Amino acid sequence: MAFSNILAAVGDAGRFQVIHVIFLIIPMMMLASHNLLQNFSAATPGHRCRVPWMENASRGDHGDSSWNSSEEDLLRVAIPWEQDSLSRCSRYVRPQWQLLLNDSADVSDQVGIEGCVDGWEFDSSEFSSTIVTEWCLVCENQGMKQMAQSVYMAGVLIGAIVMGGLADIFGRRNVMLVNNLIVAVTGTCAAFSPSINAYIVARFLLGLGIMGSYLNAYSLGLEWLDTRHRVVFATTMAYAYTTGQFVLAGLAYAIRDWRSLQFCVSAPYFLFFAFSWFHPESARWLMLQGRYKDALKGFKHVAKINSRNITNDLLSVEVLKKAMESSSVPTKKTYTAFDLLKLVELRRRTFIISLIWFATSFCYFGVAMNLQGFRMNIFVLMLIFSAVDFPATLVVLAMISFIGRRAATGTPLLLAGCTCIAVVFIPADMELLRTSFAVVGKGAVAGAFNTLFLVAGEIYPTVIRQVGMGTTSTMARVGGMLAPLVTISGEIYPLLPQIIYGGVSLIAGLVAFLLPEMLNKPLPDTIEDLRCQNMRKSKRQANGEKATATSLLVSKTLQESDI
Q: 46 vs 325, which has greater pLDDT?
A: 46
CB atoms within 10 A of CB 318: 11
Output the average pLDDT for the chain: 81
304 shares a domain with 247 = yes
Res 199: pLDDT: 96
499 shares a domain with 468 = yes
Q: Tell me, yes or no, whether 551 lies in a domain.
A: no
Distance, in Å, from the CA atom of 226 to the CA atom of 38, rounded to the nearest integer, reads 38
310 shares a domain with 361 = no
296 shares a domain with 438 = no
Q: Tell me, yes or no, whether 52 lies in a domain.
A: no
Res 63: pLDDT: 44
* pLDDT tens column, 382-438: 888 888 888 888 888 788 878 888 899 999 999 999 998 888 888 877 878 888 888
Distance, in Å, from the CA atom of 214 to the CA atom of 161, rounded to the nearest integer, reads 13
Q: How many domains does the chain have?
A: 2
Alpha-carbon torsion 242, 244, 248, 250, what sign?
A: positive
CB 359 within 8 A of CB 413: yes
CB atoms within 10 A of CB 439: 18
310 shares a domain with 172 = yes
Type of residue at 126: E
List of residues 6+ apart from 360 with CB closer than 8 A: 413, 445, 448, 449, 452, 476, 479, 505, 508
411 shares a domain with 304 = no
Distance, in Å, from the CA atom of 212 to the CA atom of 158, rounded to the nearest integer, reads 9
User: Among 157, 208, 162, which Cα is nearest to 185's?
Assistant: 208
Res 51: pLDDT: 86
369 shares a domain with 310 = no
Q: Tell me, yes or no, whether 67 lies in a domain.
A: no
Find the domain containing 158 and state its range.
Answer: 1-33+143-328
Q: Tell me, yes or no, whether 362 lies in a domain.
A: yes
152 shares a domain with 281 = yes
Type of residue at 64: D
| Mean pLDDT calculated for residue range 125-144 | 90
Q: 537 vs 158, which has greater pLDDT?
A: 158
* pLDDT tens column, 58-77: 555 544 444 455 777 778 78
Instruction: Look up the pTM and report it.
Output: 0.79
Res 320: pLDDT: 82
Res 202: pLDDT: 96
Of 137-141, 162-166, 330-334, 375-379, least confident by mean pLDDT is 330-334
pLDDT of 143 higher than 90: no
487 shares a domain with 427 = yes
Q: Tell me, yes or no, whether 233 lies in a domain.
A: yes
- Hey, which of 127-141, 234-248, 537-551 has the most confident mean pLDDT? 127-141
Q: What is the CATH number of the domain that holds 148?
A: 1.20.1250.20
* pLDDT tens column, 462-500: 667 767 777 788 888 888 888 888 877 776 777 788 889
* pLDDT tens column, 502-540: 999 999 999 999 988 877 777 676 777 777 766 665 555
DSSP 42: T
List of residues 6+ apart from 240 with CB closer than 8 A: 25, 26, 28, 29
Phi, psi (5° rounding) for residue 404?
Answer: 145, 160
Q: Tell me, yes or no, whether 532 lies in a domain.
A: no
Question: DSSP string covering 134-153, please?
Answer: HHT--GGGTHHHHHHHHHHH
DSSP 129: B
Distance, in Å, from the CA atom of 277 to the CA atom of 285, rounded to the nearest integer, reads 17
Please give the C-alpha separations between residue 535 and each of 452, 456, 529, 531, 551, in angstroms, as whole numbers: 26, 22, 10, 6, 24
